[in-house]
Amino acid sequence: MAAGRPYEGFFDINDVHEYLRIYESHVRSLSGGDEKQVHRTLLQYGRTKGIIHDLIGRNLSTDEGIHVDPESIVVTVGCQEALFLTLRTLRRDDRDALIAPMPCYVGATGAAALADMRVLPVAEHTAGIDLEDLERVVKEAKADGLRPRACYVVADFANPSGASLDIDTREALIRLAEKHDFLVLEDNPYGLFRALDSESTPTLKALDGDRRRVVYLGSYAKTGLPGARIGFAVADQRTASADGRTGLLADQLAKVKSMLTVNTSPIAQAVIGGKLLAHRHSLRSANARETELYQGNLRHALNELARHFPDDSRPEVTWNTPAGGFFVVLTVPFAVDDELLMHSARRHQVLWTPLHHFYGDGRPRRQLRLSLSYLSPDEITVGINRLADFIREQCDVQSLQKGIS
């Protein structure tokens, strides 16, 4: 229950060939049957910002109510490259900093480290980012001569906390970003997998409108196909570059990308482009099976946890109840470190992730993350059974140690 990979039971290699052919036909028809243009688009070096930006634009409009000029979209090698490009572009010198709610996805803090960008931690509560703490951190940072350039946030089903921001918090975050002149980097890998019958809260980017405070970081790794490694950034801000010229932030990202990966494989883009075309630019219905599975896994895990650790039972184990996403966070009566994880793997044959990995300070917490996306319900039953044995054993060890001391 450690890996955050998408469920692979529905993958089909024939889809790759099919999507490639659909995209190929699309280019052929757009170019009026120019075969040279077709093979140049798919097989040659290509546009730095990518070739499926139009399709991504329509996808965002259909599934997320985000309406942007496709010129502001940069197609990247997974969302991770979009994140690095954005941070590396925003980072001019040591004063530039990234605000990040803790616990935080390690890819975000890792990309910041790679871009030599300082991270300013902000508290998270059950309803997501703590805006009072955020404002305090921003003011203190500015007083120290720092420039908080952006705040990273997963507004829907954060990794690892599972927290989602309500609409008022989303609005307030954008207003804070305006007030203190920073950008919001909205990473949204799990939003599409909300319950099929649930109302969606608009993404920050959909709320943003002409304020252009939000850079949207998208991924097709979970909703498209992980093996294509396609993500993107929507960066429709007009900002001054290092040389003083004003232009689209997307074009600045592209300039960095040209020295990083040159362009994203057009063959890989064509696979995702074909999938978008095959489903009329919407991945919401295309992922109905996946959504049902992820929602089912989450419910099943919560039920199993409740069965093993009923209310008022000892040991006292609690957990959050996210409405979506891939993860559940458990709070246990002992500190969880990597040594315990090794023990759990060896003795109990169950893997999970100690929560201190998401704080980056190496200080063990009394929390751990379970990942449910990759498993079948039966595997979850077995996994949580093993986990419960492990937790009870650790509580016994602790009582024993207390008795001795």
Q: Which stretch binds a second copy (CB under 8 A): 5-13, 189-197, 280-288, 305-313?
A: 5-13
**Cβ closest to a second copy, residue 226 vs residue 333:** 226
Question: Which one of 167, 267, 306, 323 is in contact with a second copy (CB under 8 A)?
Answer: 267
Q: Dihedrals φ, ψ of 218, to 5°?
A: -110, 155
Question: Which one of 31, 62, 265, 398 is in contact with a second copy (CB under 8 A)?
Answer: 265
**Cβ closest to a second copy, residue 36 vs residue 402:** 36
> Considering the rule CB under 8 A, would residue 228 count as an interface residue with a second copy?
yes
**CB 220 within 8 Å of CB 272:** yes
> Considering the rule CB under 8 A, would residue 221 count as an interface residue with a second copy?
yes
* All residues at 6 or more sequence positions from 371 whose CB lies less than 8 Å from its CB, including other chains: 1, 2, 3, 4, 326, 327, 352, 353
Question: Which one of 173, 183, 235, 271 is in contact with a second copy (CB under 8 A)?
Answer: 271
> Considering the rule CB under 8 A, would residue 44 count as an interface residue with a second copy?
yes
**Cβ closest to a second copy, residue 45 vs residue 145:** 45
- Name the token pair of 324: 């979506």
Q: Which stretch binds a second copy (CB under 8 A): 78-86, 132-140, 194-202, 318-326?
A: 78-86
Question: Which one of 1, 16, 137, 283 is in contact with a second copy (CB under 8 A)?
Answer: 16
Least distance between a second copy and beta carbon 5 (Å): 5
Helices (H) and strands (E) in the chain, counts: 13, 14
**Cβ closest to a second copy, residue 116 vs residue 132:** 116
Question: Which one of 78, 103, 128, 360 is in contact with a second copy (CB under 8 A)?
Answer: 78
Report how far Cα 131 is from the mean position of its chain's Cα atoms: 20
Q: Which stretch binds a second copy (CB under 8 A): 75-83, 118-126, 127-135, 328-336?
A: 75-83
**What DSSP letter does each residue of 166-210 carry, written as one string?**
-HHHHHHHHHHHHHTT-EEEEE-SSGGGS-TTSPPPPPHHHHHGG
> Considering the rule CB under 8 A, would residue 262 count as an interface residue with a second copy?
yes
> Considering the rule CB under 8 A, would residue 266 count as an interface residue with a second copy?
yes
Question: Which one of 1, 42, 176, 254 is in contact with a second copy (CB under 8 A)?
Answer: 42
**What DSSP letter does each residue of 89-125 carry, written as one string?**
HH--STTEEEEEEES--HHHHHHHHHTT-EEEEEEEE
Angle at 316 between CA 314 and CA 321, to 5 degrees: 130
**CB 55 within 8 Å of CB 281:** yes
Question: Which one of 31, 40, 61, 357 is in contact with a second copy (CB under 8 A)?
Answer: 40
Q: How many CB atoms lie within 10 A of CB 142?
A: 14
Tell me how far apart the alpha carbons of residues 390 and 345 are, in angstroms, rounded to a whole number.
Answer: 10
Buried b (16+ CB within 10 A) or exposed e, 45-79: ebebbbbbbbbbbbbbebbbebebebebbbbbbbb
**Cβ closest to a second copy, residue 85 vs residue 370:** 85
Q: Which stretch binds a second copy (CB under 8 A): 40-48, 59-67, 204-212, 379-387?
A: 40-48
Using CB under 8 A as the binding rule, the residues of this chain from 97 to 116 that contact a second copy are 107, 110-111, 113-114, 116
Burial class (CB in 10 A: 0-12, 13-18, 19+), 226: middle
Least distance between a second copy and beta carbon 89 (Å): 10
**CB 308 within 8 Å of CB 384:** yes
> Considering the rule CB under 8 A, would residue 18 count as an interface residue with a second copy?
no
Using CB under 8 A as the binding rule, the residues of this chain from 320 to 379 that contact a second copy are none
Tell me how far apart the alpha carbons of residues 154 and 190 are, in angstroms, rounded to a whole number.
Answer: 9
> Considering the rule CB under 8 A, would residue 209 count as an interface residue with a second copy?
no
**CB 190 within 8 Å of CB 288:** no
Binding positions for a second copy, rule: CB under 8 A: 5-6, 8, 11-13, 16-17, 20, 24, 36, 38-40, 42-46, 77-78, 80-81, 84, 88, 107, 110-111, 113-114, 116, 221, 225-230, 256, 258-268, 271
